[in-house]
Structure 1
Amino acid sequence: MENQKPQPPHVVFLPFPALGHIKPMLKLAELLSHAGLQVTFINTQHIHHLLLPSIDTDALYRRFPNFNFLSIPDGLPPHHPRTFLNIFPSISSATVTALCHMLVSDLSCTTTTCIIADGIMSSSVVTAGEEFGIPVLAFRTFSACCTWANFHLSKLIEEGEVPLQDMDKLVTCIPGLENVLRCRDLPGICRVERAEDPILEFFINEAKAMLRASALILNTFDELEAPIISKLSSLFPKIYTIGPLHALSNVRINVNDDPSPLASSSTSILWKEDKDCITWLHSQPSKSVVFASLGSIASLTQEQILEFWHGLVDSGKSFLLVIRPDLIIGEDSSGNSAQLLTDLQERTKGKGMIVSWAPQEQVLSHPAVGGFLTHGGWNSILESTHAGVPMICWPVISDQQVNSRFVSEVWRVGLDMKDRCERGVVEKMVRDLMEVKRDEIMKVMDGVAEQARKSVEEGGSSYRNLELLIQEIRSMTTLI
């Protein structure tokens, strides 16, 4: 028994059930497993059944033998039409019960060193961690700037800024952002009709609960968000900034260990990629293509799709447009949407290409891509920034409102098209990004991209912070 090999630290991951949350948490889970830690990644049962077909689990387990997937209920019936918003009321109450049961049953054979939980699941998970004496680290998959804004939601209500009235009024009650955010740039959850909105209250409560975590993990890099990270350090004993995680993973796993793609390609989770677009990009001139993708959650009307399409066509620039099967509102109830997509694909020939889903990281790093029309989700912004591709942001929900303002007015690596969806505006924005303002924007973007790349290289800020996080988790085993 004296010579028995000690068990590695065991980290349990619990992401919020949405693609933008799962991707970075899965990347971190892979990085920790690669470092020799035991990892259990817990999804909801609904996501678990969608996720597994997109992953070569045999290859994953060969590379990461200490990695394991488990699932728990999300509190909704199997055929419920889950949306980003209707999952909130059920997930919190269902999670704490299921997690506690799992800690005493499925995971009882191993000691759980710590739990890394999505920041917007803090209330239930921190409660479970406190019950079992397990440290909880909060992973906020948003930007630091939006995370900081979320800690001031109650203050915004007290100051009468929420519900929103004058959308262009500067917000002055968030320290450090007094001259940055207008009311229209506040997190999407602030666009409510009354201050007692249950979703807004959910986010306020989760932010409070997150303060009980032993550390905060952010998918960002110090050089991009240093002033706001400094503000957050007044709230948390430890902060680990380890982004861009997709790039850090490529450096530490793909390049140093194995040149083949990761078994769990985070770009294809839940959606099948159309890789024919890469062949098409090979035929396009350098920096000539606008890549347009509005993420995995947004829904648009047929009219909005047409405005985007006409704007792209009228700009005269070649474009690669992503139209998910469920992107257009009303597709299930009418054949008009399917017909619209067929018509647009036919009319796009010679001007660009339309696909149902694209390998985004690969597209953004392609030499032919010169601009990115995006919803402004945090993963997309980090991927675009690392690739050095300037952006046009059309935010829809959540953190995207804040992100798009920072892209245009703070980091100055793109343009903000918030709350506008007319073909003339799209055309002008594309021309500005690709021609009129390109030199001005690229001077800044080139520098930010270089900082992003250096941050994940050995010796870089994010590379070092990941090492510190691994050391912190290893040290927890001596306390158990």
Structure 2
Amino acid sequence: MESMSTTGSAAYRALLLSLLSPGSGGEFPPVTCVVADGIMLFAIDIAEELGVPALAFRTASANSFSAYLAVPRLLELGETPLPVDDPVHGVPGMEGFLRRRDLPRLAPAADGHPTESAAAAGVHPLLLTMAKGIADCGRARALVLNTAASLEGSAVAHISPHMRDVFAIGPLHAMSSSVPGPAASLWREDDGCVAWLDGHADRSVVYVSLGSLTHIWHHEFTEFLLGLLATGYPFLWVLRPDMVGAAEEAALRGAVGDGSKVRVVEWAPQRDVLRHRAVGCFLTHSGWNSTMESILEGVPMVCWPFFADQHINSRFVHAVWRAGLDMKDVCDRSTVTSMVTEAMESSEIRQSVQALAQRVKRDVATGGSSDAEFKRLVGFIAELSATPRHQAQTPVITNGDGRHQE
């Protein structure tokens, strides 16, 4: 992050300058608006400095964004992220169910636990930096969130007063499903796993994927493997090449057998897997994309969050949306077995997540909230882009007496 804001910002400024004059961009017209990842605030600041209006786009959940905004209040109350069940009162709209273990945390240390200093302080300096970056998104002309009103309308409402404008236009993968494009991941997908699913009964397979960043340790791998085997259900497990070592690979080879009950792949076409009739539940790290993809397909989840927004996402899956079970801070074979079995067999969880799926599908359908917000965003960008550059870089601030000043 530090390197991007120094070395990266210089290259970005040069690129943007080269694209501002007619004809300088080759086949492209001059840049009239920038949409930047919200963690790259330098991209927003430089664009505005050059007279180009800029929007911030955040890929995490609105609920986690709201929690980061509340970090100063949480520190005042002493409600810092720790793996304990003490209730949290400092995040607006979440007072009734949020616990300290549900607050955004950084990745654990090598032994799987917080460092002694971090545990004592309850907060890491980088967490404070991230919280400040979240608040500073208010410098952009608007904040764009990949979410839907039926999922996070309350959080969006709490965020809005802190931003100049907010657009909730997701789930984006559902809104763009008819538009062909490249794969969403740089990992090579194993398409053969879909054919493997074809050979299994409806809702009989457990899909396991902990995302593109999570690393698991040997004891965690062992507990997951033995817990999954004890369920008796076949399972499809995504294990990236950088995720496990030689000992784990040997254990997997012994577990796979003839491949009829266990299929292990380095990466899977997740959307195709989740919509497959054979998949009965999703053991997930609760990344926001995975969470929305599972909800949209009506697949119950067992959540094992790792860091950042995943802890809040998993709490909402369990305690608010009733779309699955939250297994955070626990990794033993008996818990894996019991929670996966419950997610596979609970008609209540399945009905709840399928009802939620229908609400989200209405959001992205023509006339739905996300559809309307997307059209409003297009109009917003068109209006910004029509403003001359020398006007775009001059913010207008309203004084308390109603007068305006530049």
Same fold by TM-score, threshold 0.5 exceeded? yes
Corresponding residue of 2:183:
265
Give the counterpart letter for 1:285 in structure 2: A
Corresponding residue of 1:439:
347
**Separation of aligned partners in 1, 2:77 and 2:5:** 28
Corresponding residue of 2:106:
189
Corresponding residue of 1:137:
55
Contact 2:323 2:352 in 1 (8 A): yes
**Separation of aligned partners in 2, 1:446 and 1:204:** 34
**Separation of aligned partners in 2, 1:291 and 1:408:** 18
Distance 1:112 1:446, change over 3 A: same
**Separation of aligned partners in 2, 1:468 and 1:455:** 14
Percent identity, aligned pairs only, is: 40
Corresponding residue of 2:324:
414
Contact 2:81 2:100 in 1 (8 A): no
**Separation of aligned partners in 2, 1:338 and 1:309:** 11
Corresponding residue of 1:111:
30
**Separation of aligned partners in 2, 1:292 and 1:315:** 13
Match of 1:391 among 301, 308, 312: 301
SS of the residue 1:263 aligns to? coil
Match of 1:222 among 146, 149, 160: 149
Corresponding residue of 2:261:
351
Contact 2:140 2:164 in 1 (8 A): no
Deviations for 1:13-54, whole angstroms, at most 9, x for unmatched residues? xxxxxxxxxxxxxxxxxxxxxxxxxxxxxxxxxxxxxxxxxx
Deviations for 1:310-331, whole angstroms, at most 9, x for unmatched residues? 1111011121111111112xx3
More displaced 10-residue stretch of structure 1: 89-98 or 129-138: 89-98
**Separation of aligned partners in 2, 1:195 and 1:92:** 27
**Separation of aligned partners in 2, 1:94 and 1:343:** 48
Give the counterpart letter for 1:186 in structure 2: L
**Separation of aligned partners in 2, 1:155 and 1:358:** 41
Contact 1:157 1:163 in 2 (8 A): no
Corresponding residue of 2:385:
477
Contact 1:157 1:195 in 2 (8 A): no
Give the counterpart letter for 2:283 in structure 1: L
Corresponding residue of 1:274:
190
Deviation of 1:158 (Å) = 2.4
Deviations for 1:367-413, whole angstroms, at most 9, x for unmatched residues? 11111000000000000000010100000011000000000001111
Corresponding residue of 1:366:
276
SS of the residue 1:179 aligns to? coil
**Separation of aligned partners in 1, 2:19 and 2:76:** 44
2:166 aligned with 1:239 = yes
Distance 1:186 1:211, change over 3 A: same
SS of the residue 2:375 aligns to? helix
Match of 1:161 among 70, 74, 79: 79
Deviation of 1:96 (Å) = 2.2
SS of the residue 1:299 aligns to? coil
**Separation of aligned partners in 1, 2:363 and 2:296:** 10
**TM-score, normalization: structure 2?**
0.87
Deviation of 1:107 (Å) = 5.6
Q: What are structure 1's unaligned runs of at least 5 residues? A: 1-87, 254-261
Corresponding residue of 1:90:
3
SS of the residue 1:285 aligns to? coil
Deviation of 1:160 (Å) = 1.9
2:204 aligned with 1:288 = yes
CA RMSD for the aligned pairs? 1.9
Contact 1:172 1:178 in 2 (8 A): yes
Match of 1:458 among 350, 363, 366: 366
Deviations for 1:74-123, whole angstroms, at most 9, x for unmatched residues? xxxxxxxxxxxxxx33223333222111112356524222111112222x
Deviation of 1:338 (Å) = 4.0
**Separation of aligned partners in 1, 2:123 and 2:287:** 26
Paired residue total: 372
Contact 1:96 1:127 in 2 (8 A): no
Contact 1:126 1:209 in 2 (8 A): no
**Separation of aligned partners in 1, 2:20 and 2:234:** 52
Corresponding residue of 2:313:
403
Distance 1:382 1:163, change over 3 A: closer
Deviation of 1:207 (Å) = 1.6
Deviations for 1:250-286, whole angstroms, at most 9, x for unmatched residues? 14x3xxxxxxxx23122xx210111111001111111
**Separation of aligned partners in 1, 2:235 and 2:80:** 38
Contact 1:281 1:368 in 2 (8 A): yes
Any residues of structure 2 matched to 1:251-330 within 5 Å, and which? 251=178, 253=179, 262-266=180-184, 269-328=185-244
**Separation of aligned partners in 1, 2:123 and 2:239:** 35
Deviation of 1:157 (Å) = 2.0
Corresponding residue of 2:64:
146
**Separation of aligned partners in 2, 1:127 and 1:147:** 20
Corresponding residue of 1:30:
none
Contact 2:81 2:105 in 1 (8 A): no
SS of the residue 2:4 aligns to? helix
**Separation of aligned partners in 2, 1:140 and 1:148:** 12
Deviation of 1:344 (Å) = 3.7
Corresponding residue of 2:393:
none
**Separation of aligned partners in 1, 2:122 and 2:47:** 31
Deviations for 1:289-315, whole angstroms, at most 9, x for unmatched residues? 110100000001122112111111101
